[in-house]
Amino acid sequence: MNKPDHAEDELAPLSYRGARRILWLVVLLIIGAFVLHSLQSVLLLFAIVFLLAMVLNPLVVWLEKHRIPRVAAVVLVMLALIAIAATVILFAIPPLASQVEGLIQNSPKVWHGIRVRMDSLAQSYPAMREALPQTDEIARRIGAAAGAIGNILLRSTIGVVGGVLSVALALLLLVFVLVNPQPLVAGYLALIPDRYREQARRTLARLMRQMIMWARGVAINGAITGVSIGTLLWLIGVQPAVMFGVFAFLGEFLPNIGPFLVSIPILFVALSLGPTKFWLALGVILLVYQVELNVLVPFVLGKEMRLHPVNILFFTLAMATLFGILGAILAVPAAALVQILIDEFYLKPRDLDHPAINRKATALVHGRNRRE
């Protein structure tokens, strides 16, 4: 029996034309990487604007259904956002700034308390003296970590270097996108070849749905986590509890690494207050984040995202390396986009037998690697 033509093409040696195509592909990838690096601040700005547009568009559509013109609906949504931001600035920033100032003033006392506790622990348990790093070494490492975090913040052009001008530009772009998004969507679909246009449409629809769910889930999880940590720390006497609660809320926008970064200052301040405070603070952190991981995340975010924690961690580190702290915030949207693209343009066209693949994967994980 003769093999099909496509099988013969797969077994044919690499031709000059094929090698030239591969070379051109490599060159295009290099050029694309250079352009990505050169325009990373611009790309980050537009990514944030499009993400916000996906999240806010359902509100605009809801207002349109209630017979409000789209331009007026966009204006109402933007005014609501400005009102929320002004409320936060007027009522939340002053006490937060006061607690930050108090923590800075008490930082020598806090660090002295940490040194005393660690020296006492080393004297009580001599075997741990060599295992525990010296307090000066801890200070050096903390300083290095703070410098690394500061470097990431400085690299985040939108939010730190750009300042007010970048925020104003982002709001202006957001208004333009929300007022008339149809040409942008039509242009996106027009760039796609005809045979892939339906997949491209489904990709955009799925991404919009997942981003709405992600934004809502992160906001709800962050509010519950921040209030819980702030309240429990206040009850056990670890201050500044309000500041730590705000940090916990913001940490929800940094998947996986956010809770770890939030826990470090809380535990250091608690350690300076004594071992009892330290263990109570550690218990608060473990309790709140375990409840979030096992209850809030599955219940609020649901199963639609279907993103493995390893994928989220990879995209968090990759996006933080490329774009700084705001890149880490965009890690989940980037991971969702890549997963949807693979699903729509690779897995579905191949019509893979997903149950059979899952059975094989389960067999490999549990050591049942016999051939089926």
Q: Phi and psi at residue 308, in whole multiples of 5°? A: -70, 140
Question: Contacts from 31-40 at CB under 8 Å and sequence distance 24+?
Answer: 36/322, 40/157, 40/322, 40/323
Query: Is residue 291 predicted with pLDDT exceeding 50?
Result: yes
Q: How far apart are CA 243 and CA 230, in angstroms?
A: 8
CA 96, 170, 79, 251 dihedral sign is negative
Lowest average pLDDT, out of 151-160, 250-259, 316-325, goes to 151-160
Q: What's the chain's Rg over C-alpha atoms?
A: 26
Residue type, 278: F
Evaluate whether 281 touches 270 at the Cβ level (below 8 Å).
yes
Query: What's the per-residue H, E or C state across 1-15?
Result: CCCCHHHHHHHCCCC
CB burial of residue 281 (10 Å; 0-12, 13-18, 19+): buried
Evaluate whether 178 touches 57 at the Cβ level (below 8 Å).
yes
CB burial of residue 14 (10 Å; 0-12, 13-18, 19+): exposed
pLDDT for res 110: 64
| 83 or 353, higher pLDDT | 83
| 168 or 180, higher pLDDT | 180
* 179-225 residue pLDDT tens: 888 888 888 888 888 888 888 888 888 888 888 888 888 888 888 88
pLDDT band at 159 (very low <50, low <70, confident <90, very high): very low
Most confident of 174-183, 256-265, 305-314, 347-356: 174-183
Query: Is residue 155 predicted with pLDDT exceeding 60?
Result: no
- Choose among 233, 28, 231, 44: nearest CA to 155: 44
Q: What does the domain layout of the chain look like in residue ranges? A: 39-359
* 137-146 residue pLDDT tens: 555 555 555 5
Judge if pTM exceeds 0.75.
no
| 15 or 8, higher pLDDT | 15
Using DSSP, state whether 57 is helix, strand or coil. Answer: helix
The single residue listed with the structure tokens 């331009």 is: 71
Evaluate whether 327 touches 319 at the Cβ level (below 8 Å).
yes
The single residue listed with the structure tokens 């470097």 is: 151
Within 10 Å of residue 306's Cβ, how many Cβ atoms? 11
pLDDT band at 157 (very low <50, low <70, confident <90, very high): very low
* 256-277 residue pLDDT tens: 778 888 888 888 778 777 778 8
- Choose among 109, 110, 118: nearest CA to 269: 110
* 10-37 residue pLDDT tens: 445 556 666 677 788 788 878 877 877 7
